[in-house]
Amino acid sequence: MNARFTFIDLFAGIGGCRIAFERIGCKCVWSSDWDTDAQDVYEANFGERPAGDITKIPNNQIPDHDILVAGFPCPSFSIIGERKGLSDNNGSLFFEIERILKDKKPSAFLLENVRGLVNHDKGKTLNKILTHLENIPYYVHWKVLNALDFGLPQKRERIIIVGFRNNRKFEFPKGTEERLTLKDILEDDDKVSKEYWLSEKIKRQRAQAVEGKWVFYPSIWHENKAGNIGIHSYACALRANASYDYLVVNGVRRLTIREMFRLQGFPEEFKPIGSYTALRKLMGNSVPIPMIQKVAESMLQSMENGEITPLLKQVKLFEVS
């Protein structure tokens, strides 16, 4: 069976975007990620080890492809990062994407990043990215999507940027009506290893912090940057560098690795390779697979139906000087 389209998986992490595109009949022809923990997990599940540091890989070592897929590093734009934008080492990796797009000229691309990119530097950073993409040239569309709208019990908002070499009619998916609940995701507390349980001291502190609030089960207790704790019927976004106790199940324990995988939509057969600390970081950097899959489906519909819309000026987020 022939693949619908080929794609490359940049800043691949543990392969969430790859799973999304492969599920709809696309073929991955190359991948890259510098993180050795991510490479170990990727290799164990896909049978190939991603190439390393993209800044050291010349264009002639990257195969031709139809779609470039990249969840490029986000700490430069995140509310919990230093927000240095395109000027720091992580943010500047966008220009590696630009380099490959200019040379390989794939038919389309999908980029994913944190919601914080939208307002970074009062919109100037996003405008700069959009302008660079349009000048290659690509016709660019962007939208902030939430994993909660795509079947997962995780509030994870991400900006998705999609581009086409031809000005094809494209609309972002609106989401799905059905959603998994925490009951579908969480393991029974009495079956979870004690290594995941909070100390009695921290449990008491959590209980005191929610005194007077409506407590229900199952639930995930989220501690925000101000130290306030909210009780939710979903998980707030998994984060690579947050404290171990910022998301707590039923006020008594941390999420297990398998629960984190489920919150991102990974299949049950996906193999977790590595320590809890390493996998927790990798899951915090990964993508909600069902959300990416729905966007990928919309992209392929646009690419396959052949409809080209009249030339339109792309709309920027902000008018900035």
Domain ranges of the chain: 6-178+287-305, 182-284
From the candidate CATH numbers 3.10.20.310, 3.10.580.10, 3.40.50.620, 3.90.120.10, the one assigned to the domain spanning 182-284: 3.90.120.10
pLDDT digits (tens, 9 = 90+) for 158-198: 999 999 999 989 999 999 989 999 999 999 999 999 999 99
In this structure, the strands spanning 157-164 and 108-114 are antiparallel
Q: How many CA atoms lie within 13 A of 81 on its CB side?
A: 21
pLDDT of residue 241: 86
pLDDT of residue 317: 55
Pair of tokens at residue 137: 């040239």
Rounded distance, CA 11 to CA 90, Å? 11
Question: Which one of 17, 28, 74, 236 is the catalytic residue?
Answer: 74
Rounded distance, CA 177 to CA 27, Å? 29
Pair of tokens at residue 319: 């008018």
pLDDT of residue 217: 94
- pLDDT by residue for the chain (321 residues), tens only, comes to 578 999 999 999 999 999 999 999 999 999 999 999 999 999 999 999 999 999 999 999 999 999 999 998 855 554 444 545 555 555 589 999 999 999 999 999 999 999 999 998 889 999 999 999 999 999 999 999 999 999 999 999 999 999 999 998 999 999 998 999 999 999 999 999 999 999 999 999 999 999 999 999 999 999 988 889 999 999 999 998 888 899 999 999 999 999 999 999 999 999 999 999 999 999 999 999 999 999 999 999 999 986 777 655 555 555 544
Amino acid letter for position 134: E
Sign of CA dihedral 142, 293, 19, 37: positive
- Our answer to whether residue 236 is catalytic in this structure is no
pLDDT of residue 321: 41
pLDDT of residue 226: 86
pLDDT digits (tens, 9 = 90+) for 203-228: 999 999 999 999 999 999 999 888 89
pLDDT of residue 73: 82
Q: How far is CA 236 from the centre of its chain?
A: 14
User: Which residue in this structure is represented by tokens 């390989």?
Assistant: 104
For helices 289-305 and 16-23, angle between their N-to-C axes, nearest 10 degrees: 40
Evaluate whether the domain defined by 6-178+287-305 bears CATH number 3.40.50.150.
yes
